[in-house]
Each structure stands twice: as C-alpha cells, then as structure tokens.
Structure 1
Amino acid sequence: MTDDGPTYDPKTDTYVGRFETEPASLAVIEALATVRHCEPTELEPLYSSVDPDALDRLVASGSEKLRIRVHIDGFDVVVTGSRRIEITPPE
C-alpha cells in the first residue's frame, strides 16, 4: 500500500488506495486494518473470504480489466488489475 494508505471519498462512502510491489493479499489486509483502525492480526483471516494465493496470482497476471469483489469483515472490498483497492464500509 502506498505510504499514506487509503483515502476516504465521502461522495461514494469508499476508501481508495493503491499498491505497488507487495502482493494484493497483503495490500488488502493493510488497507482494511488502516480503515478499521486496528492491527492486521485483529482482522478475520483473509482466507475466510478469498484464497490469498489466487488473489495474488490474478492481480499479478497484469490484466488492467480485472476486478475482484469480496466481502471481508462486513466490508465490500474491490481489487483491480491496476493495483487499486476500494473498500466500502458496512451500512
């Protein structure tokens, strides 16, 4: 995840961030922990919602059109092939 983490967009009620070199699975965990103001170890294990290895492989494939949506701890999380993460909190 970039140094400043995901930023909040009040118009869409979504947190948006980008990641560069780390695996998508790690970036999702870091971004979600930032949004929830907790440590990554306090989150539900990622594998409860998505196969972390499969997520990493799909994003690493480089397809710019890729869009993966999963629900983690009540949050709607979208990961794109352009290495973007969108997190929508529960209502």
Structure 2
Amino acid sequence: MKLTAYIVVMAIVTYVIRALPITIFHKEIKSKWLKAFLYYIPYAVLGAMTFPVIFFSTGSVVSASLGLAAAFIAAFFDAGLTVTAVAAVFISFIFGIFI
C-alpha cells in the first residue's frame, strides 16, 4: 500500500509540473531575457546531471578525467560528435587498463 501511494504521488507531481505551464502561459513570451533563460535551461540541466557522473563512470577517476580531457580537446578542434565520443571512450579505456 505504501509503495502504491508513493507511485501515485510521483505521478501527480510529474503531471502537475508538465501540465501547469501549458495551462498558465497562453500568450507568447515576449521578454528576451526570459526566452534566453528558458532556451538554455535544458543544456544547464543536462550538464548538471551528466558532468558529475563522468568522473565515476569508470573504476578510476583518473582515467575518466583523461577521457573528459580528450573529449574537450576533440570538441575544441571541431571534431564531430562521433569522433569526440570515440576519442573519450578510447582514452578512458586505454588508461583504465594501465592505471
């Protein structure tokens, strides 16, 4: 019974969070600042959720950090998304074997 109550509360909260903006905001948002803020929110949330996990994705923080550095370097030199991801995985894997 307790588990069912938890699931029902989570479902209600999730629904309210998603349905409330649709019901409140009927007009187009005209504020440039608010538009810019809402535009960058998904990137900020994605970064906040992803970045800490990067360091604990392997058995060693050192190999994960080296993979992150490889991804930064590849991205800095405008490598594609696939090349950047493969470089990060390859460096993390190789250094994970030797560290």
TM-score (norm 2): 0.26
User: Rg larger in 1 or in 2?
Assistant: 2
More strand by share: 1
